[in-house]
Structure 1
Amino acid sequence: MHYHNYDDLIKNNQEWVEEKLSVDPSYFENLAKGQKPPFLFIGCSDSRMPLTNFTKTEAGELFIHRNVANQVSLTDMNLLSVLEYAVEALKVEHVVVCGHYFCGGVAAAYAGTATGVVGSWVNPIREVYLQNREEIDSLPSEEERVNRLAELNVIAQVGNIYKTSVLQRAFKSAQVPEVHGWVLDIKSGRIKELELPKEQWKELGILS
Structure 2
Amino acid sequence: MHYHNYKNLLQNNLEWAEEKLKQDPTYFDNLTKGQKPPFLFIGCSDSRMPLNSFTKTEPGELFIHRNVANQVSLTDMNLLAVLEYAVEALKVQHIVICGHYFCGGVAAAYKDSATGVVESWVNPIREIYLQNRAAIDAIEEEDDRINKLAELNVVAQVRNICNTSVMQRAFRAGSYPSVHGWVLDIRVGRIKELELPLEEWRELGILPA
Short-chain TM bin:
over 0.9
Any residues of structure 2 matched to 1:48-127 within 5 Å, and which? 48-127=48-127
Q: Distance in 2 between matches of 1:131 and 1:206?
A: 20
Question: Which digits, 9 at most, give the CA deviation of each residue in 1:27-68, with x for residues without a partner?
Answer: 001000100000000000000000000000000000000000
Task: Specify the code of the residue in structure 1 equivalent to 2:116.
Answer: G
Task: Specify the code of the residue in structure 2 equivalent to 1:143.
Answer: D
Q: Distance in 1 between matches of 2:172 and 2:40?
A: 20
Q: Distance in 2 between matches of 1:152 and 1:82?
A: 23
The equivalent residue for 2:36 is 36
| 1:144 shift after superposition | 0.4
| 1:2 shift after superposition | 4.7
**CA contact 1:65–1:82 (8 Å) conserved in 2:** yes
Task: Specify the code of the residue in structure 1 equivalent to 2:92.
Answer: V
Regions of 4+ moved over 3 Å: 1-4
**CA contact 1:91–1:175 (8 Å) conserved in 2:** no
**CA contact 2:2–2:8 (8 Å) conserved in 1:** no
Any residues of structure 2 matched to 1:154-169 within 5 Å, and which? 154-169=154-169
The equivalent residue for 2:146 is 146
Any residues of structure 2 matched to 1:123-142 within 5 Å, and which? 123-142=123-142
SS in 2 for 1:49: coil
Task: Specify the code of the residue in structure 2 equivalent to 1:29.
Answer: D
| 1:174 shift after superposition | 3.4
| 1:204 shift after superposition | 2.0
Q: CA RMSD in A?
A: 1.0
| 1:197 shift after superposition | 0.9
Q: Distance in 2 between matches of 1:207 and 1:135?
A: 27
Q: Aligned pair count? A: 208
Q: Structure 1: any 5+ residue segments left out of the alignment?
A: none
| 1:206 shift after superposition | 1.2
Q: Distance in 1 between matches of 2:23 and 2:129?
A: 49
SS in 1 for 2:106: helix
Task: Specify the code of the residue in structure 1 equivalent to 2:119.
Answer: G
| 1:207 shift after superposition | 1.4
| 1:120 shift after superposition | 0.1
Q: Distance in 2 between matches of 1:174 and 1:205?
A: 14
**CA contact 2:74–2:164 (8 Å) conserved in 1:** yes
Normalized against structure 2, the TM-score is what? Answer: 0.98
SS in 2 for 1:122: helix
| 1:167 shift after superposition | 0.6
Percent of residue pairs bearing the same amino acid type? 76
The equivalent residue for 1:181 is 181
Task: Specify the code of the residue in structure 1 equivalent to 2:70.
Answer: N
